[in-house]
Amino acid sequence: MKVNPRVKVVKQLIALFAKGRSLSELAENIQNEDQAPLIQAMCYGVARYYIQLDFAAKQLLSKPMKEKDQDIYLLILIGLFQMMYMRVPDHAAISETVDAVKAFKKPWAKGLVNAILRNFQRKKETLLKTIEQNEQAKFSYPVWIIDKVKKAYPNTWEQILHAGNEQAPMTLRVNQSSVTTKDYLKLLNEVKITGNESSLVESAIILEQAVPVTKLPKFKEGFCSVQDAAAQLAAGFLKVEPGMRVLDACAAPGGKTSHLLESVNAIQLTAIDNVASRVEKIHENLNRLHLKASVKCADVLDSDAWWDGELFDRILLDAPCSASGVIRRHPDIKHLRLETDIEALVKLQSAMLGKLWGLLKPGGLLLYATCSIFPEENNEQIAKFIKKHSEAKEVNLMIKEEKTSFIGAQLLPGELNSDGFYYLLLQKKA
């Protein structure tokens, strides 16, 4: 007997909200499910709009639900999400959600779920207006994120928050050492997959609709990888040449590592990450793409444990960060990241920059990257670093039409159909 997919969605969401597990980690557990795309769409959708859905549910409930009935409360939110954001007729959304109640062995809840969803159906117009009048419910972000984005981007904050709520496209990185982007587009067309070249970077194709990687032509042979266009800028910015010693710090899952090797294979590349399961992902990526690097499971700050004493020509520091630029792709960041995390992240980024700068040859280049849009992790972080290091010189990077006024280059979520990313290239004066 088929299990109602909403039951599986509840279990995934409990793992997110109660146990702090990420949606991308949970998505791996449902890859082989019959209705995996539907389950994933509902999981990501409820996570994306949780604050808004929670606000709506509380307007409809006469009293708060008990902690032990979180499963039923999440079912109500799933029902509301379908009625607000999915192309599911209201009657079907209501009946399917009510039907899912029986899996939780709480027969009393059937009537409650039915009543709440039907009440929403009746009051939908009024409730949507009430949501519009409440800033947190309207944008569906924690207050601290709204406040930080407002402060950093006073003229465009609403646009940035809206962009973070859009579903990100599936973007491919074409392995230029195997096939050109134009030729790979032809291979996609042959199997009826439609995509367009990115205006941001030559190697990127943005698909009109996401597909399982198993459907991508010659994926197993390494013709392409899945990677956002903004993340693909790193390899070009680092200006790697054959024979160079290159370090990719914080390298997992290996997207930028493999892109560097696809661009210039004849380099000595060391890739480091401090989590064994994530290091395994680097190996998987390199093996599929038939690439070789020295991969180490180690703490970047403990260089005695992994460094051989010879300085590097190029260093990529894709620093641990708030991930505030990739919320559209990982909506669980709204729930897993806390405001108090930022200060610790800024300290860690600063420590990593200082440590790695000491491993760079005079004349060498260090590329600092984050998928954040918060200034304290980006241009403010770098301004402090340059103040301390007179031998550090910024190398201008052009992402958009013109050089930005602050240090480095910042892409915002949705700009040029990419994620939010920050890049800064430093040269160590000889």
Is there a domain that residue 201 lies in? yes
Chain segment 146-195, per-residue pLDDT in tens = 999 999 999 999 999 999 999 999 999 999 999 999 999 999 999 999 99
| Rounded CA separation 169/210 (Å) | 7
Banded model confidence at residue 402, pLDDT cuts 50, 70, 90:
low
Residues 61 and 187 in one domain: no
- Note the pLDDT of residue 363: 97
Is there a domain that residue 144 lies in? no
Per-residue exposure over 32-56, b if at least 16 CB sit within 10 Å of its own CB, e if not: eeebbebbbbbbbbbbbbbbbbbbb
Chain segment 57-84, per-residue pLDDT in tens = 999 999 999 999 999 999 999 999 999 9
Please check whether residue 30 is in contact with residue 116, taking contact to mean a CB–CB distance below 8 angstroms: no
Chain segment 365-386, per-residue pLDDT in tens = 999 999 999 999 999 999 999 9
Is there a domain that residue 94 lies in? yes
**Distance, first Cα to last Cα, the chain:** 70
Please identify which of the residues 43, 224, 321, 371 carries the catalytic annotation: 371
Closest CA to 248 of 213, 219, 278: 278
Which of left, alpha, beta for 105 (phi over 0: left; psi -120 to 50: alpha)? left
Say yes or no to pLDDT of 30 above 90.
Answer: no
Say yes or no to pLDDT of 268 above 90.
Answer: yes
Banded model confidence at residue 265, pLDDT cuts 50, 70, 90:
confident
Residues 113 and 195 in one domain: no
Is there a domain that residue 148 lies in? no
Is there a domain that residue 149 lies in? no
∠ Cα 227 175 224 (to 5°): 55
Residues 45 and 123 in one domain: yes
Domain boundary among 91, 120, 139: 139
User: What is the pTM (predicted TM-score) of this model?
Assistant: 0.94
Residues 69 and 131 in one domain: yes
Q: Report the relative pairing of strands 204-207 and 171-174 from DSSP bridges.
A: antiparallel
User: Which residues share a beta bridge with 173?
Assistant: 204, 225
| Rounded CA separation 47/29 (Å) | 17
Please check whether residue 47 is in contact with residue 13, taking contact to mean a CB–CB distance below 8 angstroms: yes
Domain boundary among 210, 226, 242: 226
Domain boundary among 83, 118, 139: 139
Helices (H), ranges, 269-374: 276-288, 333-336, 341-357
Which token pair is 415?
């700009």
Residues 263 and 401 in one domain: yes
Say yes or no to pLDDT of 400 above 70.
Answer: no
- Note the pLDDT of residue 1: 64
Residues 93 and 217 in one domain: no
How many CB atoms are located within 10 Å of the residue 133 CB?
Answer: 8
Longest dimension (CA), the chain: 74
| Rounded CA separation 415/228 (Å) | 12
Domain of residue 208, CATH code: 3.30.70.1170
User: Which residues share a beta bridge with 207?
Assistant: 195
| Rounded CA separation 246/314 (Å) | 5
Chain segment 204-241, per-residue pLDDT in tens = 999 999 999 999 999 999 999 999 999 999 999 999 99
Which token pair is 215?
């459907």
Residues 356 and 401 in one domain: yes
Domain ranges, residue 302: 233-428
* Burial class, 11, CB count within 10 angstroms (exposed 0-12 / middle 13-18 / buried 19+): middle
Is there a domain that residue 157 lies in? no
- Note the pLDDT of residue 326: 97
Chain segment 88-107, per-residue pLDDT in tens = 999 999 999 999 999 999 99
Residues 280 and 349 in one domain: yes
Residues 266 and 237 in one domain: yes
Residues 263 and 321 in one domain: yes
What percent of the chain is helix, strand and coil (3-state, nearest 5)?
50, 15, 35
Mean pLDDT of all residues belonging to the chain: 95
Domain of residue 363, CATH code: 3.40.50.150
Residues 87 and 49 in one domain: yes
Domain of residue 35, CATH code: 1.10.940.10
Q: Which of 27-31, 232-236, 355-359 has the least mean pLDDT?
A: 27-31
Is there a domain that residue 411 lies in? yes
Banded model confidence at residue 26, pLDDT cuts 50, 70, 90:
confident
Residues 249 and 362 in one domain: yes
Chain segment 80-93, per-residue pLDDT in tens = 999 999 999 999 99
Residue 43 is a catalytic residue: no
For 214, what's the count of Cα atoms within 13 Å in the CB-facing half-sphere?
Answer: 2
CA distances from 366 to 307, 321, 393 (A): 17, 17, 10
Chain segment 382-394, per-residue pLDDT in tens = 999 999 999 999 9
CA 215 to chain centre: 22
Say yes or no to pLDDT of 401 above 90.
Answer: no
- Note the pLDDT of residue 330: 97
CA distances from 145 to 18, 157, 334, 380, 414 (A): 21, 10, 8, 18, 17
CA 318 to chain centre: 13
Please provide residue 315's backbone torsions phi and psi, each rounded to the nearest 5 degrees: -135, 130
Domain count, the chain: 3
Which token pair is 26?
């949970």
Is there a domain that residue 165 lies in? no
∠ Cα 385 387 391 (to 5°): 85
